[in-house]
Amino acid sequence: MYMPLRLKFAVVLAFASSWMALSVWLSQSWLGELSHVVGLGLAVVVIAFIAYVPGFMNAFLIGSILADHRPPRREFAHYPQVCVLVACYNEGENIADTLQSLAQQDYTGAVEVLVIDDGSTDDSLSIARSAAASLSRQGMLIRVIAQPRNAGKSAALNRGFAETGQALVVTVDGDSYLRTDALRKIVQRFLSDPAGTVAVAGAVLVRNSRDNWLARAQEWDYFHGIAAVKRMQSMYHGTLVAQGAFSLYTREALAQVGGWPECVGEDIVVSWALLATGARIGYCEDACLFTKVPTSFRQFSRQRQRWSRGLMEAFARHGRLLLAPRMSTLFIWWNLLFLPLDLVYTLAFLPGLVLALFGYYWIAGLMTLLVLPLAMVWNIVIFGVQTRMFKQQGLRVRRNWGGFLFYSVGYTMLLQPVCVMGYAAELFRFRKTWGTK
């Protein structure tokens, strides 16, 4: 049965709101007990960001994913010219594989790949030049240019943007590997999507998930969490981040907003700049790129702090999106709630777990377990959707139950305190650098 998108949005919103109302009713005794310890106001804040808000978000995600029946990608007789910008900084171990995967694309239109080496101190530049010379062919020109010094990722991308002229611009990270159909599918999605689409985010998955326990947990984060959120946001015409690792943009739209801004979260800030023009950003769930994720806590911490700082930069520059009259405005408010969510989790819930070990269940107790059934349903729903997508491409979901267990139980204990550190770094204006390594 066909249901207009705005009606879907209203139905899913009503479902999520009803779940949150039920949570409020069930939590009255918990609220009373905690109020006796910390006062009513603080008790409401703590319980809201431990139970009410996460419950609403999970319910909205479940409803949206179940209601998502996006139009299929269409095949085309002719494909437009595309330039692929590969910003590279100290990727000597990876850049050759990235260029090899680009050279193997089955895209039938003309492709120019431009590697912008941003002052690497390793052998990235020489490896990229050698690979470019051996992999270039008719219809696939690979060039390499070098920045005179390390100037940051946005400067590298803007240099590449100025050196090319194709109407469609794709960005790919220098430590990534694309499936052979990734470029074709992301262009097909762009050409098949509604009018007003100026960018499409590709599907970024983990390439090095066998390295250690941290990489195995991140495999589920990318496969479950990040993919689900992008599916949901694109359904309502407002994917909030066309990530730099793999996204497509129109040159006209990028020129309109002045290219990539000089900041630590250039991809989220440029995405919000595009949304501020009233444009639409989509998501291609089956245009798959595999990237290497951080394998040490230090690298992971730096990456996620950068993402948190990027979110704060986006609000500082485009906070007016909170008042935009469109469905995706809900997700701008959603992101605004990340700061109190992370703060309450770090400063209240984690200490509450410690108190529970000593028999004090004011914060973490039986009532907090009520969020688990909804979280379990959400995991089952997105696992089914993502598994079906994998099967359609001849891919198989790797058995990684240890990683899933840590992702489900302990991952947020690392992630959310790290995000708080990122907010603090942006608040106190600590030095900014690009890269995670």
In angstroms, rounded to a whole number, what is the distance separating the alpha carbons of residues 148 and 83?
Answer: 22
CATH number for the domain spanning 200: value is 3.90.550.10
Strands 280-291 and 176-178: antiparallel
- Please indicate, yes or no, whether residues 381 and 343 belong to a single structural domain of this protein: yes
Is 74 among the domain residues? no
Of 320, 340, 371, which closes a domain?
320
Where residue 39 falls (left for φ over 0; alpha for ψ -120 to 50; beta otherwise) is left
Find, among 159, 176, 35, 29, the residue nearest to 85 by Cα: 159
Query: pLDDT per residue over 49-82, tens digit each?
Result: 998 999 899 999 999 999 888 888 899 999 999 9
Is 432 among the domain residues? no
- Please indicate, yes or no, whether residues 228 and 276 belong to a single structural domain of this protein: yes
Question: How far, rounded to the nearest angstrom, does the alpha carbon of residue 289 sit from its chain's CA centroid?
Answer: 13
- Please indicate, yes or no, whether residues 32 and 115 belong to a single structural domain of this protein: no
- Please indicate, yes or no, whether residues 312 and 335 belong to a single structural domain of this protein: no
Q: Are 230 and 328 in contact (CB under 8 A)?
A: no
Is residue 434 scored above 80 in pLDDT? Answer: no
In angstroms, rounded to a whole number, what is the distance separating the alpha carbons of residues 239 and 255?
Answer: 20
Query: pLDDT per residue over 270-318, tens digit each?
Result: 999 999 999 999 999 999 999 999 999 999 999 999 999 999 999 999 9
- Please indicate, yes or no, whether residues 115 and 17 belong to a single structural domain of this protein: no
Of 320, 337, 364, which closes a domain?
320
Q: Are 87 and 171 in contact (CB under 8 A)?
A: yes
Domain containing 380 equals 5-69+327-427
- Please indicate, yes or no, whether residues 214 and 352 belong to a single structural domain of this protein: no
Query: pLDDT per residue over 108-150, tens digit each?
Result: 999 999 999 999 999 999 999 999 999 999 999 999 999 999 8
Is residue 437 scored above 70 in pLDDT? Answer: no
- Please indicate, yes or no, whether residues 308 and 421 belong to a single structural domain of this protein: no
Question: How far, rounded to the nearest angstrom, does the alpha carbon of residue 264 sit from its chain's CA centroid?
Answer: 15
Residues contacting residue 420 through CB under 8 Å, at least 6 positions apart: 308, 342, 343, 346
Find, among 153, 174, 356, 386, the residue nearest to 283 by Cα: 386
Of 262, 297, 320, which closes a domain?
320
In angstroms, rounded to a whole number, what is the distance separating the alpha carbons of residues 1 and 18?
Answer: 24
Residues contacting residue 402 through CB under 8 Å, at least 6 positions apart: 213, 216
**Predicted structure pTM score:** 0.92
In angstroms, rounded to a whole number, what is the distance separating the alpha carbons of residues 218 and 27?
Answer: 32
Is residue 400 scored above 80 in pLDDT? Answer: yes
Is 205 among the domain residues? yes
Q: Are 223 and 381 in contact (CB under 8 A)?
A: no
In angstroms, rounded to a whole number, what is the distance separating the alpha carbons of residues 410 and 417?
Answer: 12
Per-position b or e across 169-190, b if 16+ CB within 10 A of its CB: bbbbbbbbbbbebbbbbbbbbb
Is residue 1 scored above 70 in pLDDT? Answer: no
Query: pLDDT per residue over 350-372, tens digit each?
Result: 898 888 888 888 887 766 766 76
Share of the chain above pLDDT 70, in %: 97
Q: Which long-range contacts (CB under 8 A, 24 or more apart) does 316-320 make?
A: 317/261, 317/269, 317/272, 317/273, 318/269, 318/272, 318/273, 318/275, 318/276, 320/276
Helices (H), 193-289: 213-220, 227-235, 251-256, 266-276
Q: How many domains does the chain have?
A: 2
- Please indicate, yes or no, whether residues 248 and 359 belong to a single structural domain of this protein: no
